[in-house]
Amino acid sequence: MTSKNIKTISDPKLKLEVLTKEDVQKIHNATLQIIEKVGVRFPSKRALEIWEANGAEVDHEKKIVRVKPQIIEDALKKAPPAYKLAARDPQQDLYLDGNHVNLGTDGCGVEVIDIHTGVKRTSCLQDVRDIARVADATEEVAFHWVSVSAQDTPVEARGLHELKAVWENSTKHVQTESVYNVEEAKAAIEMAAAIVGGKDKLRERPILSLMQCTAPPLGHDGGSLDAALLAAEAGIPTGFMTMAACATTGPITMAGDLAVGNAEVIAGTALLQLAFPGAPVFYAAAQTASDLRNGSYTGGGPEDFLFGAATNILADFYNIPLSMGSFATGAKEPNWQAGLEGSLSTFMASIVMSDMLLGCGFLHGSRIWSFAEMMMDCEIFSIIHKMMQGIEVNDETLALDTIAAVGPGSHYLGQKHTRKHMRELFMPQFMDRRPYSEWETKKDDARDWAVTKARKILKEHQPDPLDEKMSLELDRIIKSVEK
């Protein structure tokens, strides 16, 4: 199964086992123990009522819920193991079936390196449009996270202006983490329903999905919970993302940190299943280690990469799709650190076949959007896509006839076999393989070529627009939320 003009990793030939079956069972047992004995905080009236009705022990004052393992395990079994993320263009639907790695943009940034001036500034609505348009044209980007915040729109409806901007500029699936209260969630669902032709249609074709953060350690946010419940009720794929970070919001040891994050995610997921059995849900994670000197959320480094590979094993254990944070970097500009962190995190999350990867384009700990970074991240994804195909060994690829024809000495450039297979070699767009002297006169590099490519796309690419009447309808819904 493939999606039109979208490159996803599938039928992987590489494998990696970071956790054994016994390891996973131990983490699972620890998680159940945490949920039963320590509890998880659910500061939402609706959530607490659902828990109470389903036999959990609820401390209403502290809003902490303690749940017997059986309730959690039974609830999780109701979650669908595979489903589709629909796109405005049905040919671009994405498969969350364990055999596709779909790349998304990163989301919710606060600043942008201006594509024309190269100067860093506050993000705005036009940025959301521009990024969506470039992502629409790029085959590596399979779906959007709402990339940056439209800070020139009213706070109470900002998440909605952003969604509209993406839908108007791309036909691909949209996932948002920028809608985290009931009012906006209601309106967002209404907007998505309007586009596909009604609430029932939306259940069949969820062109929108919702990601909410948990509140580590062992908590959730009230607004996020209520928004997630609404989305699950509407049949919109919904996931909880843990960011439990070693040393600050999680234990310093990785296994403990995994258990804490897992407790948050599966407790949240079980809640959605208890309320709406069979609702499409996903596991989401961006666990990492905190920097020991300044507490910063590193989003990079060896611990981060290992978490990237471990989490899909947990999600597989629960048989639900995973959305994994990758490409995160603390680098301030597209440089050595950004390339290193982007490559390793994405490789580790891909080799275990995470269903969704979040996401390309950011610098400085998910805060600054850079078009150059986005395009180079896409190339990294393409390289990993190629690597995941592994090495094919058969008569044709062993090429014995051709080897005999060339013999010792000579070369393979003139061979039909070479010509036939040459396009299977990876052709980089942004790697410098030129003579030294050429570089010396131009002194340009990947960053310049990447920005140039983004500029060209922005100038030339015309996405399939949203019907004008539909835009007006979306405006009407947005207006109803604005104060």
Partner 1 sequence: MSEELFKEMAQSIIDGDSDISTELAKKSIELNIHPLEAITKGFVVGVTYIGDQFGLGEAFLPELVMAGEAMKSAIAVLEPELLKLGEAREMMGKVVLATVEGDIHEIGKTLVGTMLSASGFEVVDLGVDQSADKIIGKALEINADIIGMSALLTTTMVRQREVIEELDKEGLRPRIKVMVGGAPITQDWVKKIKADGYSEDAIGAVKIAKELVGKE
Positions touching partner 1 (CB under 8 A) are 110, 122, 149, 151, 155, 158, 215, 221, 223, 247-249, 252, 290, 292-295, 297, 365, 367
215 lies in the site for ligand B1M, by CB under 6 A? yes
Minimum separation from the CB atom of position 292 to partner 1 (A): 4
| 155 contact choice in partner 1, ligand B1M, none (CB below 5 to 8 Å, kind-dependent) | partner 1
- Interaction pattern, residues 223-262, with ligand B1M; x per rule: CB under 6 A: xx------------------x-----x-------------
293 lies in the site for ligand B1M, by CB under 6 A? no
- Quick one: 116 exposed, middle or buried, by C-beta within 10 A (0-12, 13-18, 19+)? exposed
Q: Cβ atoms within 10 A of the Cβ of 458, count?
A: 17
Q: Cβ atoms within 10 A of the Cβ of 90, count?
A: 14
Token representation of residue 92: 């671009």
Using the rule CB under 6 A, give the single segment among 26-34, 74-82, 162-170, 291-299 that binds ligand B1M.
Answer: 291-299
* Distances, alpha carbon 122 to alpha carbons 35, 119, 149, 359, in Å: 41, 10, 9, 20
| 247 contact choice in partner 1, ligand B1M, none (CB below 5 to 8 Å, kind-dependent) | partner 1
* Distances, alpha carbon 123 to alpha carbons 110, 117, 223, 406, in Å: 6, 14, 24, 58
Minimum separation from the CB atom of position 243 to ligand B1M (A): 4
Q: Among all chains, which residue has been given the structure tokens 């590979």?
A: 309
Give the orientation angle of helix 301-317 with respect to helix 254-275, to 10 degrees. 40
| 253 contact choice in ligand B1M, partner 1, none (CB below 5 to 8 Å, kind-dependent) | none
89 lies in the site for ligand B1M, by CB under 6 A? no
Using the rule CB under 6 A, give the single segment among 74-82, 101-109, 394-402, 443-451 that binds ligand B1M.
Answer: 101-109
DSSP for 280-291, written as a single string? -EEEEE--EEB-
Residue 32: partners with Cβ closer than 8 Å, 6 or more residues away: 69, 72, 73
Cα separation, 331 vs 341, whole angstroms: 9
Give the orientation angle of helix 301-317 with respect to helix 336-351, to 10 degrees. 20
294 lies in the site for ligand B1M, by CB under 6 A? yes
Minimum separation from the CB atom of position 135 to ligand B1M (A): 16
Is the CB of 212 or the CB of 343 nearer to ligand B1M? 212
Q: Cβ atoms within 10 A of the Cβ of 428, count?
A: 11
Residue 254: partners with Cβ closer than 8 Å, 6 or more residues away: 246, 303, 306, 307, 310
Is the CB of 105 or the CB of 415 nearer to ligand B1M? 105
Minimum separation from the CB atom of position 323 to partner 1 (A): 21
Token representation of residue 374: 């986005």
Is the CB of 16 or the CB of 292 nearer to partner 1? 292
Q: CA angle 324-330-332, nearest 5°?
A: 130
Interface with ligand B1M (CB under 6 A), residue from 149, 323, 382, 415: 149
Minimum separation from the CB atom of position 177 to ligand B1M (A): 4
Is the CB of 68 or the CB of 120 nearer to partner 1? 120
Give the rounded distance of the alpha carbon of 91 from its chain centre: 20
Backbone φ, ψ for residue 105 (5° rounding): -80, 165
- Interaction pattern, residues 334-373, with ligand B1M; x per rule: CB under 6 A: -------------------------------xxx------
| 292 contact choice in ligand B1M, partner 1, none (CB below 5 to 8 Å, kind-dependent) | partner 1
Is the CB of 26 or the CB of 46 nearer to ligand B1M? 46
Is the CB of 203 or the CB of 367 nearer to ligand B1M? 367
Is the CB of 24 or the CB of 124 nearer to ligand B1M? 124
| 38 contact choice in partner 1, ligand B1M, none (CB below 5 to 8 Å, kind-dependent) | none
Q: Compute the residue count for the chain.
A: 483
Cα separation, 162 vs 108, whole angstroms: 10
